[in-house]
Amino acid sequence: MTQKPIVFLVEDDLDVLEIEKSSLLDKCQVLTATNLDEAVVGILQSKDQIDLLVLDIKLDNNAKAGLQLAKFLRATTDLSKYPEAKQTEYPNFQGKILVSTVDLSIALAKVFEDLNIIGAILKPFAIQNFQQAIETSLQIDSAELVLESGERVLYEWGSEKMRRQMVIDTEGNVYKTGYWTRGGILSVCLPIVTGYCSIGCCFCSHAYAPKGSTRKRTVEEIKNSVKIVLQGTLFQPPLEEGEKFDIAFTGEGEPGKNLDNTIEAIHQLSREYGDQIRRVMVSTVKTKVIKRLLQENFVVPVQLQISGFFWYEERKQYMKGADPLEELLELAFQYWQKTGRKLPIILNHALIAKQTDTEKKIKQLIKLIKKAGQQNTNWLKVKISNYNPITNIDWQASGGQAMMIKKLFADQKIFSFFYRIPRRQIERIPDK
């Protein structure tokens, strides 16, 4: 009988540890520890090679304990504290390392690369996601996380709503790519720059990561982000041949900042994957993007999304790189007409208390929508989302206004739907 793989769990929350252990017992041998000392002794005294070490980054109120343990095991520098384990018998830890944590940052990317950490599980997680991550981690080789281009997945994390990967390219630039599955359809979110979005919308976590240099990604690099996900990930099995998927240029940089390569990537991906691509979604706050889309003839359907979080003076203040919403809506209506009225324009709208959720504000927005659409109402759908508070910005999430807002839209025969973004606090790092 084939021996079960050995998984070592290091977790200081006893309830979480018991759930994790119980979920793996059918397929794995499970060893456990609740603190650093237990983990080191247990790992070094293990008679068999451990296949996978799952580390909670924070142990006993030490925010970096898990990473300290990973560094210790990879380097095997000083074992004098543990006389029961002889360094000659255990030169270094060769198994795979997966971490669990409540938060991740780009700053961790280099640490993960140095320690050859293959992934991250973001807490809280659904147990089926945990099981999937463990199963995939045991099956893949670290070399499989490297593409032919030389790019490599540093780690992956996520939830039911959205999963993300941190990727490093051959020049050492780090960027995020994302994916999600709804209704059985996989959507891959493609970043078009390395670095950070320069639009600076105040409600976007991408804009308030630490500032760094920005470089336009090449067409091949953009296409590689699709391959990274389609080949299989910690949470997503490889896409079956012929299985359909969506592509989204949404949230990982403004397409207008790399427009030529974005357009060419759409054309090339359409030729390479053909009918497998169900649709491409392009989200923008720039009129030049819509004007360019109006000039193109795409093989696959391309759906347009625009941001309607603010308009008039607030838009100038809080979305300094964005064009006026009235101009975007007018062009978007032209695009809807040109593309055969098959896919509605999506207008994104986040509910911020006393900023974007009042009856007065919504009536202003409805007036803009109807004017741009020449009194048509079926050309656009409003995606209403919750607002995640950002530190150092004195805004709060709206409370109980969603139904009133949906009714205001419905009264004017404008379709709207609520899209819940996983709630988390976003740290805003002020510009230097």
Contacts 24+ apart (CB under 8 A), 82-86: 82/40, 82/41, 82/44, 84/41, 84/44, 84/45, 85/40, 85/41, 85/44, 85/45
Comparing 219 with 128, the larger pLDDT belongs to: 219
At 430, the pLDDT band (50, 70, 90 cuts) reads very low
Q: Do 77 and 157 sit in the same domain of this protein?
A: no
- Residue 370: is its pLDDT beyond 80? yes
74 or 401: which carries more pLDDT confidence?
401
In terms of domains, do 134 and 189 share one?
no
Closest CA to 110 of 65, 62, 69, 152: 152
pLDDT score at 431: 42
223 Ramachandran zone, left/alpha/beta (phi>0; psi -120 to 50):
alpha
pLDDT score, position 207: 46
DSSP string, 194-216: ES--SS--TT-TTTTSPP---EE
Domain boundary among 138, 154, 182: 138
CA distance 4 to 26: 9
Task: Using the predicted structure, report yes or no on whether residue 205 has a pLDDT greater than 60.
Answer: no
Q: Is 24 in the same domain as 74?
A: yes
Q: How far apart are CA 261 and CA 225, in angstroms?
A: 14
Helix (H, G, I), strand (E, B) or coil at 307: strand
Quote the pLDDT of residue 1.
41
For residue 225, is pLDDT > 60? Answer: yes
Supply 340's token pair.
Answer: 């055969």
pLDDT attached to residue 326: 95
DSSP type of residue 396: -
Domain boundary among 138, 172, 199: 138
354 close to 290: Cβ distance less than 8 angstroms: no
Q: How many domains does the chain have?
A: 2
Nearest to 305 by CA among 278, 283, 331: 283
Give the whole-number percent of the chain exceeding pLDDT 70.
81
pLDDT surpassing 80 at residue 106 = no
Determine the residue type at 40: V
Residue 118 in contact with residue 132, Cβ under 8 Å? no
1 part of a folded domain? no
Tokens standing for residue 157: 């994390």
Query: Tokens representing 390?
Result: 């950002």
Helix 36-45 vs helix 65-75: crossing angle, to nearest 10: 30
Give the CATH number of the domain where residue 318 resides: 3.20.20.70
pLDDT for the residue 329: 96
Q: Determine the pLDDT at residue 421.
A: 66
CATH number at residue 103: 3.40.50.2300
Q: What is the pLDDT of residues 239-259, one digit of tens each?
A: 888 899 999 997 667 899 899
**Does one domain contain both 65 and 172?**
no
Q: What is the mean pLDDT of residues 364-392?
A: 87
Check residue 145 and give its pLDDT.
Answer: 62
> What was the pLDDT predicted at 91?
45
> Dihedral through CA 337, CA 243, CA 189, CA 304, nearest 10?
0
The predicted-structure confidence for 206-218, as pLDDT tens digits, reads as follows 544 444 557 788 9
Q: What is the mean pLDDT of the chain?
A: 82
- pLDDT value of residue 292: 97
Residue 76 pLDDT greater than 60, yes or no? no
The answer to whether residues 361 and 369 touch, using CB atoms and an 8 Å cutoff, is no
Q: The whole model's pTM is what?
A: 0.77
Q: Edge-to-edge strand order for the sheet containing 415-419?
A: 152-158, 163-168, 174-182, 185-189, 245-249, 277-284, 302-307, 345-351, 380-386, 415-419
| Residue located via tokens 């240029």 | 249
126 and 168 belong to one structural domain = no
pLDDT of residue 428: 45
Which range has the worst mean pLDDT, 52-56, 231-235, 247-251, 367-371?
Answer: 231-235
DSSP annotation of 322? S
- In this predicted structure, the answer to whether residue 348 has a pLDDT above a threshold of 70 is yes
pLDDT of residue 212: 53
Residue at a domain's end among 75, 103, 138 = 138
pLDDT of 113 above 80:
no
Distance CA 54, CA 6 (A): 11
- CA 13/CA 35 separation, integer angstroms: 10
Locus of tokens 């592509």 = 247
Q: What residues form DSSP beta bridges with 55?
A: 10, 99
Mean pLDDT of the 359-376 span: 92
Two tokens at 176?
A: 């995020």
**pLDDT at position 142, please?**
62
Nearest to 229 by CA among 139, 159, 167, 299: 167
Q: Distance between CA 217 and CA 214 in Å, rounded?
A: 9
Most confident of 167-181, 272-286, 314-328: 272-286
| 80 shares its domain with 132 | yes
Instruction: Tell me which amino acid residue 211 is.
Output: K
Distance of CA 268 to the CA centre of its chain: 24
Same domain, 162 and 112: no
pLDDT value of residue 161:
63
pLDDT at 429 (0 to 100):
43
* Domain housing 178: 140-419
Q: How far apart are CA 81 and CA 250, in angstroms?
A: 50
Q: What is the structure's pLDDT at 425? A: 46
Q: Which residue has the tokens 């609740």?
A: 34
* Peptide bond between residue 124 and the one before it cis (omega within 30 degrees of 0): yes
Does residue 242 sit in the same domain as residue 385?
yes
If asked whether residues 219 and 355 sit together in one domain, one would say yes
pLDDT digits (tens, 9 = 90+) for 16-50: 999 999 999 999 999 999 988 888 888 877 878 89
What is the average pLDDT across 134-156? 72
- 61 pLDDT band, cuts 50/70/90, is confident
- Rounded mean pLDDT, 61-88: 69
Q: Is residue 429 part of a domain?
A: no
Q: How many CA atoms lie within 13 A of 52 on its CB side?
A: 26
Is 333 part of a structural domain of the chain? yes
Kindly list the distances between the CA atom of residue 143 and the CA atoms of 131, 138, 366, in Å, as whole numbers in the listed order. Answer: 22, 13, 52
Length of the chain counted residue by residue:
432
Tell me the average pLDDT across 138-142.
73
What tokens were used for 58? 């924070």
Residue 85 lies in a domain: yes
What are the backbone angles phi and psi of residue 406, rounded to the nearest 5°?
-60, -35
Tens of pLDDT along 313-330?
888 888 878 899 999 999
- Pairing of the two strands 380-386 and 415-419: parallel
Query: Per-residue DSSP letters for 229-260?
Result: HHT--SSSPPPPTT--EEEEE-SSS-GGGGHH
